[in-house]
Amino acid sequence: MKNKMNVMCGVMCVAIVLCVGGCQIGDNDIKVNSNDSDTAKTTSSAKVSIAGEDTVGVGEQITLTAARTPVDNSINFLWSSSDQSVATVDNGVVTGIGQGTAIITVSTDEDVPVTATKTIRVTAPAIDYTNYITGNRSITVRNNTSKNLVAFKGNPSAANLISGIPASATNHGLKLDKTLFANSTDFILFVVTEEDYKANANNLELLSNKPFTRLYAYYNDNANNNNMVYPISSKLGGNCHIILNNMTSYNVELRRDGIDGETLGYSAANTVNTTFAVDADEYYLFPVFRKFDKSSGEIITAYPKYISGDSIGEAVVNIFDLNTSTPNVELNAKDWIKDIKFAPSAAYLRIKNQSANGVSLYKGSLSTALTTSTGGAIINTGSEMTFEVKMKRKSDVNQEYNEYEEETDYRIGNKVNSGKYIISGDTSPSGKFAFYAGKMYTVIVTGTGTGINIDTSWMDTSTDVLF
């Protein structure tokens, strides 16, 4: 009996000790209230939401805002992206990196975090139609069409986007992005319509086989030597199509009505299914082959001519009608290099400036300096440039050039203060000098002060320009 009473007393004593923290003792239970301040901050009712746009262009930014319910100003938000090659996020500011989708996550810094997510779609950048003609421009384009166009350096992608070309723009300077244009270089100007650009904004690479046109262009990193204007044909943009398969090792331009006529488009070597949308019309289409010659810094032009025995005939021409009944024509460049000879249509005049001032080349009127095919006009001290001396046509019928051109009025002048030109030398001797097609002539200019000297021995030596 005594042992039973001792057990009961022990139980009661334990209960009394537990009640020091506060308790209610009922007939069948004991309840404990906790005042522990180290328990988790969050409750099951806490929520986080993200507000903001869900689309951003490559290279652009949007700002997302996170909110917690209930509000607790002592809590911070932590941001992350599921794919940083598509989009990055810094304190809610999302930057588009590449086309695609990324999931943006925000979490609270509580012991038990509360999170929210938002899917962000990164699309092609907005089109910049600014005319950069008076500022830093890459090249200058003339849009002879009624369509807004978008230009790329090479195949279409967000990374290769240059800028837009408004409809009917006469001299429109395209944006100069130093990431794209780090050095002087030749490149393909890939042009699409604004309509196609927007329709393929989620995947610009799909435009690779849908050019409005492609032109062979050159960027010159000397701001004073970037004067070429690249025209876009008014015949482009119709409901008919010229499809070019160029499985040759040559780069080809398609020109209308002559080997020095308006360029419809360009096809790089080993390229198939390059399609140009054009107007219904009768076409006299001539292939012209172009390449950048690194040794001279000039674009060399040649055209294919048929060979019959030992004689060379007229230039290759493709004649066809495009209309509602025959809306498409397919051309194969391999057909143009069978039984043909590449015939140069120009001589080339290389000027090496070793004088004290910049010089320029003139022909006839001295008011406007000649421009190279890569956009150069001013030959700075210690540099050189090569100019194309176009041969004269025999006739418009056979599209052939004479083998040589006689000229008497090519002159070299130097630039002095106030931007005026003084004629200090003349590249031509008394009488006429014959420039022969396919030849390179090198002129060395020397002199101090504003004077220049030209050694006429250049007329007696020349080298072949090989295509």
Cα three-residue angle 8-10-14, rounded to 5 degrees: 120
Structural contact between residues 57 and 37, judged by C-beta atoms closer than 8 angstroms: no
Q: Tell me the residue ranges of DSSP E strands in 279-364.
A: 281-293, 298-308, 311-315, 318-322, 328-332, 340-344, 346-353, 359-363
Residue 177, class by beta-carbon neighbours within 10 Å (0-12 exposed, 13-18 middle, 19+ buried)?
middle
**CA angle, 438 as apex, 432 and 442 as ends, to 5°?**
65
pTM greater than the 0.95 cutoff: no
Listed residue (224, 126, 138) closest to 173, CA to CA: 138
E strands, 172-295, are 172-175, 185-193, 213-219, 229-232, 236-246, 252-256, 263-267, 271-278, 281-293
Question: Percent of the chain at pLDDT above 90?
Answer: 31
Give residue 283's pLDDT band: very low, low, confident or very high (50, 70, 90).
very high
Per-residue pLDDT of 37-55, as tens digits, reads: 333 344 558 899 999 999 9
Fold match flag (47-123 vs 346-464)? yes
> What integer pLDDT is reported at residue 365 of this predicted model?
64
Higher pLDDT pick, 434 / 105: 105
Whole-number pLDDT of residue 183 = 82
Nearest CA-CA partner of 301 in 230, 229, 401 = 401
HEC string of 278-293 equals ECCEEEEEEEEEEEEE
Mean pLDDT of the chain: 80
Q: How confident is the model at residue 334 (pLDDT cuts 50, 70, 90)?
A: confident
Domain boundaries, the chain: 47-123, 137-344, 346-464
CATH architecture of 47-123: Sandwich (2.60)
Confidence of residue 342 (pLDDT cuts 50, 70, 90): low
Beta bridge partners of 446: 453
Q: What is the mean predicted confidence (pLDDT) over 133-139?
A: 86
More reliable by pLDDT, 142 or 312:
142
Burial (0-12, 13-18, 19+ Cβ within 10 Å), 110: middle
Find the distance separating the first CA and the last CA of the chain, reported in whole Å: 123
Fold of the domain spanning 346-464: Immunoglobulin-like (2.60.40)
Amino acid 180 reads L
Residue 193 has pLDDT above 60, yes or no: yes
Tell me the C-alpha distance between 200 and 124, whole Å.
Answer: 8
pLDDT at 235 over 50: yes
* Chain segment 391-418, per-residue pLDDT in tens: 877 766 566 677 788 766 788 887 664 4
- Single out the residue of 248, 247, 290, 282 nearest to residue 265, CA to CA: 290
Distances (CA, A) of 81 to 57, 86, 182, 385: 16, 9, 31, 51
The answer to whether the CB of 74 falls within 8 A of the CB of 81 is no
* Predicted confidence (pLDDT) at residue 340 exceeds the cutoff of 70: no
Q: For 60-69, how does the pLDDT look when each residue is reduced to its tens digit (9 = 90+)?
A: 899 999 999 9
Share of the chain residues as helix, strand and coil, in percent rounded to the nearest 5: 10, 50, 40
Burial class (CB in 10 A: 0-12, 13-18, 19+), 134: exposed
> Could you give phi then psi for residue 71, rounded to 5 degrees?
-70, 135
- Helix locations, 89-193, DSSP H: none
Tokens representing 308?
Answer: 């019959």
Strand partners, 263: 255
Q: Is the pLDDT at 19 greater than 70, yes or no? A: no
Please name the amino acid found at residue 52: G
